[in-house]
Structure 1
Amino acid sequence: MNERRFEVAWVPSIPDQFVTWGSDLRLYQVVDGEHSSRGLEKEQIGVDRYAELVNCVTEPHYIKSVSIWRGEGVRLAVGQATGRVSLISLSDDLNLEFASEKEFNPKQSRPCSALAWHPTQYTLLAAGYEKVRTEDGIVVWDLSQSQLTEKPLHETGHGDHCTSLSWAHTQPLLVAGLNTKTVKIFDSRNGMKTVNQTQTRATYGLSVDPGSDYRISGYSESSVVIWDTRNFEKPIITLNSPHQVTKVSWCPSRPGLLASSVKDSGSILLRDIMSWAVSQEDGEASVTERTIQPPGSQIGNIADFAWHPSRENTLLAMGTLSRFTEWTVADRLTLNFSARHSLIWSSGASNLLRFEPTEFSNSESRSSDEPRNYLEICDIGLVMQSRAKAGYSGDTKLTDLSNFKLGSELDTVWTWVLQSGGNAFADLISPNTRNAKFLGVRTLLYSSAETSQAKLSNWTGLDSAKPIRTYHSTERELILKLCGWDKKKMGKKNLNEISRNAAIAVFNLDMKAAIEILKSGCTGSKGVDSGLSSNLSMVCVAVSGYSSEGSKLWKEVVANSLPLLPDPALKSLFSFLTSEDESYSDVLSGNNLSFLDRVAFASRFLSDKLLLEYLEKERSKLLLSGSLEGLILSRTHQESIEVLQAYVDRSGDIQTASLISLKILPPEILRSAGVVSWIDNYRQMLDQWNMFGVRSELDISLSRSDPSWETQLQGWI
C-alpha cells in the first residue's frame, strides 16, 4: 500500500466491504483469516480479520468529496475540483435504479465540496459547491429512470459557499453549512425552502444523529457543536478542542454517542450524551467524555475513521501510515441489582445480560441442552434464603440436616457440633468439660490428665499376624465415635462408600470384615456395573494376599499399583498395609480419606506427641483455606471465632456462622464484635427478605442463649 489514503467509509448495503479515497478509489473486502486468499493486497485489521483489495480505480482525478450510495451494490458519487460529479460503480453487478458512469456538471466550473445521498430515497443526490459569483451553492438531482437528465430537481443557496451536507433520516430535510457562518435546514417537499437556521462557525462535517433527527452536530477548527432543532437558535452544548478537529461522526447503532478526531493524534474522543436538555428549563446537557485508541497502535496518527453501519460500536480507523484497524468499543455499563439477587446490565443496544443466582443443586440439575440467555453464578444470598425457608435455624437437629442441602463440609461440622454438645456420649466426657456447649478434638485431648496407653492390637481374620501398635484413652474413644468409626456399614453399592467401609475395617484391624465388605460390593454390583465388580474383585484378591510379615514382592507390586486404584480410600488402605513406620505419613498426608477419617486414623495410631503435632498442622492448613472443618480441631473459643471468620471471608455465609455461634459459644463470647456483626447482618437480611417469622425465631434463640441480649422492637402502622 504505497499510496496515501485520506478518507474511509463502509458500504451501507454490504457490511463487510469498505471504500477509501484520496488519489484513487479503492474497495476492500473484510474476511476472516481462514477465508483470506484473493485480492491484490491484504493487511490484518484485527484478530484474525483481514482487508483484501478487491478493486482500484485511478479516475476521476482531483477528488474533493465522495458519498456512497445506500442501495444495493457499491456505487459512489464522486465530486471533483472542477465541479463535475461522476457516478462510479466499484462492483460488477449492475442495478437498473443506478445510472452507472453518469456525470453531472455545474453551470460554472467550481470545486464540489460536499455530496450526500438520501438515506431512504436512493435516487436523490445533493451536492454542495464553493462560491462562484451568484451561482447556487446547493444542487439536488433525482436519478430515477424517468428523470435521468442533467437538469437538477432543486437548486438553492444563491451565491452561497456550501461546506457540508447531511440528510435527516426520517424526514425530507437537508442540513447544510453555508459560508462558514450559517447552518440552514431545507425542506425538499417545498422547493428547498429554508425551515430553520442558526448562526455558527461550526459548519463543517454536519451530521444528523441516526437515533434522533432533532440532534445535529458540526465542527469548526477548534470546537464541536451540538444542536437540537427544536431550539435551534443556540447550541445545546459546545465542546472546545485544543487541537484542530478533523471529523465528527454519530454512532449508527448507539444513539447519542459521538466520535471525533483531531489533527496529528492517534486517538479518538467519544462523547456520550447522558441527558439531553432542549430548553433552559431542562437544565444543562450531561455529556461524558473518554478517549480511545486503536488496539496495537501501529497505524500512526488517525487520518480518518468510520462507524460500522450494523455491527454495534465497531470502528474502522485509517492511519497516516496507510494501515487500518477495526475494533469494538466497550459500551458504558448500567448495572441494576434486583431485590431478588439478579444482577442485570446492558450489552449493546439489543441485549440484556444478567447474572442469575443459583443454588448448587439447581445449577447441577439444569440440563446442559437447555438454552440459556443469562450467565449463572452461585449467590450465597440465595442459598441462605432457601435454607432459611426450609427451617435452617439455631434449633437445627441431626435429623433435619438432610433437608437443608448443606454439602459435606457443613454436614460434617453440624453433625460434630450437635453430637458433641448432646448427651449421647456423656459417659465418655470428663467432668471438667461436661458443661461445655461444644467439644473440639484438641479440647478433648488437652482435657485429659493422663497420657494415652499404647497397646499391641491383633488382627481379626489373619493367622500369625504381627500386632499393630494402637493408642487408647477415653478421649480417643470419644473422638472415634464422633468420627463415626463405631458404626459398621454393609451393603453399600457405591464405590466410594464400599472403599471407605473396607478401609475403616482394615484400620480397625478387622481383615475379615474388610474382605466381606469387598465381596458384598462385588456381588451386589454384578449385572449392574461390570467394571465396578471387576475392580472390587481384584482389590479383594490383593487384600487377601496380605500378611503382616509380608512378602517383599507383594509390597512392591502393591506400591507400584497404587496410582491405578479406582478410589482414593483404597489407596489409603494399601498405604497403611505397606507402611514401614508408625508416623503413617502416606495415609495422612493426602486427601484420599475424608477429614474425619484422617482425624480418627490419627487418634488410633499416633502417639500423643505425634497426634497433637498433626492436629495443629491440620488446623493451620484448614484455617488458611477458610474451611469450616477447622472448627472441629479448635481448642478455645477464640480459635473457634477465628475459624468462623475465615469461613465467612471465604464463603460469605453469615447465616451458618451466626447459627453455629449460638450453638457453641457462651454468652460472654457471643457478645464479641465479630459475632455480633454476623448476627446483626443476618437479622437485617431476613428483614429485607420479609422473613419476619424466621427473624423472630432467631431472636428467640438469641434470648435463650443470652437472656440479656437486646433485640430491637419494631412496630408497623
Structure 2
Amino acid sequence: MGELMSDVVNKPWVGLDLQKPPTCKVFRCEERSRALELCSWGFENEAVLTSFLAQLENAGNYTRAAAVAVFNQRIKQAIQILQKGAAVKEPTLNSTAMALSGFTEDRKALWRETCMMLRSQLTDPYLRAMFAFLTDDADSFDPVLGETDMAIQDRVAFACNYLSDARLMEYLERLKMRLTEAGNLDGILLTGLCPEGIDLLQRYVDLTGDVQTVALVTIHTLQHAVNKDSRLSHWVQSWKGMTTPLSRSGEMVQVCQMTPRTVMEGGSSLMDGSGTGSLTLPTSNSDKSCKPGNNACHDLLSNKPCNKHLCLLRDKILSSSRAVANHII
C-alpha cells in the first residue's frame, strides 16, 4: 500500500454549553475509515455511536464507554455514562463525572493542572487515558496510546483518529511487532492472516502450548494456505490426535459443530490444501492480496477480509478451545 494522504478535519465538541464550542483536530481518509470500522469505531452517524456506547453500558463497561465518548467529542454524554455507572456499579465514578464537567481548553486553567494530578491517582486505564487526552499539551497522545490495559482495537482506533500519517504507520508497526513478540492474538487485527499472521500464531503456540486454538483458526480461515505452510497442517493433525479420545464428549460435539466435515474426517479440503470444504464463513485473503512482500502491519488499513472475520471468530474459537482443554485436564 502507498503512503496515506489524509485530510485534517476540525471536529467540534458536542453538548458543551459554550457560545463557540472548541474543536479537535482529527485525520480522515478512506483507509482510516475502513480501519475504524474493523475496530468497531465506524461511527458514521450519531445513531451508530449511541448504539455502540449503549452496548458497552449494558455490558457494565462504563469507563470504556465514557472514554470512547470523550475520544469522539461527547463530553456531556460521557458525564451521563459515568453517572449511570456510579448509580449501579461504582459510586466513585460520580467524582470522575464532576471532574470531567469542568473541562476547558484553556491550557493555563487550574482544571487542567488538577486533572493531571488526578490522572496519576486513577487505577482504571480508560479513565487515565480519558484525562490524558483532555490534558495533552503537545498533541503527542503518548500517554493514551501507552495504556496497555486498554483494548487493542480502542488504541488502534484512537491512533487512526489522532495521529498524523507518518506517526500512525510508525505506531502500527511498533505495536504489531510488540504483539507478535508477546504472542498476543489480538495482533491479528494488524497482521491479518498473511505470513506474518501465521508467525504470530506460531509465537502464540510457542509461548502457551495451545495448539487447539491455532488449529481451529486454521480450519476456519486458512484452508487455502495449508499446502503452502507446513505449520498449518501440523497444528490440525496435532489437534486431531489430542481430541480423538474426546469424540463422544459434549465439549467435542460443540467444537465439531464449528468445524467443516471434510476437515474433521481428514478429507482433501484441508489435508491437500485444495480448499473445497464448505465453510459457512468467508475464507481468508486471496494470494493476490497476501503476497509475502507486502507490509503486513498495513493490512488493517487495507481492509483485508481476514482481519474482520478472524476477529469475529476469535472469542468463539478460544471459548471452544478452552472447553476441550478443560475436559482433557
Q: Does structure 2 retain, via aligned residues, the 8 Å contact 1:503–1:573?
A: yes
Residues 556 and 671 (structure 1 numbering): CA distance in 2 closer, same or farther, change over 3 Å?
Answer: same
SS at match of 1:621: helix
* Unmatched runs of 5 consecutive residues or more in structure 2: 44-50, 278-329
CA distance in 2, matches of 1:582, 1:696: 49
Structure with bigger strand share is 1
1:656 Cα offset (Å): 1.5
Residues 1:484 and 2:46 aligned together: no
1:566 Cα offset (Å): 4.7
Residues 683 and 505 (structure 1 numbering): CA distance in 2 closer, same or farther, change over 3 Å?
Answer: same
CA distance in 2, matches of 1:668, 1:568: 39
Residues 699 and 684 (structure 1 numbering): CA distance in 2 closer, same or farther, change over 3 Å?
Answer: same
CA distance in 2, matches of 1:570, 1:495: 17
SS at match of 2:54: coil
Residues 453 and 702 (structure 1 numbering): CA distance in 2 closer, same or farther, change over 3 Å?
Answer: farther
CA distance in 1, matches of 2:260, 2:13: 55
Q: Does structure 2 retain, via aligned residues, the 8 Å contact 1:502–1:518?
A: yes
Equivalent residue, structure 2, for 1:708: 274
CA distance in 2, matches of 1:468, 1:453: 14
1:475 to 25, 31, 48: 31
Q: Does structure 2 retain, via aligned residues, the 8 Å contact 1:658–1:679?
A: yes
Residues 1:667 and 2:233 aligned together: no
Residues 477 and 656 (structure 1 numbering): CA distance in 2 closer, same or farther, change over 3 Å?
Answer: same
Residues 702 and 466 (structure 1 numbering): CA distance in 2 closer, same or farther, change over 3 Å?
Answer: farther
Q: How many pairs does the alignment contain?
A: 258
1:565 Cα offset (Å): 2.3
Residues 1:633 and 2:198 aligned together: no
CA distance in 1, matches of 2:9, 2:171: 20
CA deviations 1:234-265 (Å, max 9, x no partner) are xxxxxxxxxxxxxxxxxxxxxxxxxxxxxxxx
Q: Does structure 1 retain, via aligned residues, the 8 Å contact 2:76–2:101?
A: no
Give the letter for the 1:484 counterpart: S
Residues 653 and 567 (structure 1 numbering): CA distance in 2 closer, same or farther, change over 3 Å?
Answer: same
SS at match of 2:120: helix
CA distance in 2, matches of 1:493, 1:696: 36
Residues 474 and 674 (structure 1 numbering): CA distance in 2 closer, same or farther, change over 3 Å?
Answer: same
Equivalent residue, structure 2, for 1:573: 130
Q: Does structure 2 retain, via aligned residues, the 8 Å contact 1:491–1:520?
A: no
CA distance in 1, matches of 2:201, 2:186: 10
CA distance in 1, matches of 2:124, 2:115: 14
1:583 Cα offset (Å): 2.3
Equivalent residue, structure 2, for 1:601: 158
Residues 602 and 702 (structure 1 numbering): CA distance in 2 closer, same or farther, change over 3 Å?
Answer: farther
CA distance in 1, matches of 2:150, 2:108: 26
1:648 Cα offset (Å): 0.9
Residues 547 and 557 (structure 1 numbering): CA distance in 2 closer, same or farther, change over 3 Å?
Answer: same
Q: How does 1:319-468 map to 2 (within 5 A)?
A: 446=1, 451-462=5-16, 463=18, 464-468=20-24
CA deviations 1:578-634 (Å, max 9, x no partner) are 011222001001324211110111111111211111111111111111111111110
Q: Does structure 1 retain, via aligned residues, the 8 Å contact 2:215–2:235?
A: yes
CA distance in 1, matches of 2:53, 2:213: 30
Per chain length, whose mean CA-contact separation is higher, i.e. which structure has more relative contact order (CA < 8 Å, sep 6+)? 2
CA distance in 1, matches of 2:151, 2:260: 37
Residues 658 and 539 (structure 1 numbering): CA distance in 2 closer, same or farther, change over 3 Å?
Answer: same
Identity of aligned residues (%): 31
Give the letter for the 1:467 counterpart: T
Residues 686 and 622 (structure 1 numbering): CA distance in 2 closer, same or farther, change over 3 Å?
Answer: same
Which of the pair has more CA radius of gyration? 1
CA distance in 1, matches of 2:117, 2:233: 54
Residues 1:538 and 2:95 aligned together: yes
CA distance in 1, matches of 2:132, 2:68: 13
TM-score normalised by length of structure 2: 0.69
Residues 1:521 and 2:85 aligned together: yes
Q: Does structure 2 retain, via aligned residues, the 8 Å contact 1:568–1:593?
A: yes
Residues 1:685 and 2:246 aligned together: no
Q: How does 1:187-202 map to 2 (within 5 A)?
A: none
TM-score normalised by length of structure 1: 0.33
Give the letter for the 1:689 counterpart: L
Residues 580 and 655 (structure 1 numbering): CA distance in 2 closer, same or farther, change over 3 Å?
Answer: same
CA deviations 1:360-418 (Å, max 9, x no partner) are xxxxxxxxxxxxxxxxxxxxxxxxxxxxxxxxxxxxxxxxxxxxxxxxxxxxxxxxxxx
Q: Does structure 2 retain, via aligned residues, the 8 Å contact 1:452–1:471?
A: yes
Residues 656 and 623 (structure 1 numbering): CA distance in 2 closer, same or farther, change over 3 Å?
Answer: same
SS at match of 1:456: strand
CA distance in 1, matches of 2:55, 2:196: 40
CA distance in 2, matches of 1:707, 1:634: 22
Equivalent residue, structure 2, for 1:408: none
SS at match of 1:457: strand
1:646 Cα offset (Å): 0.5
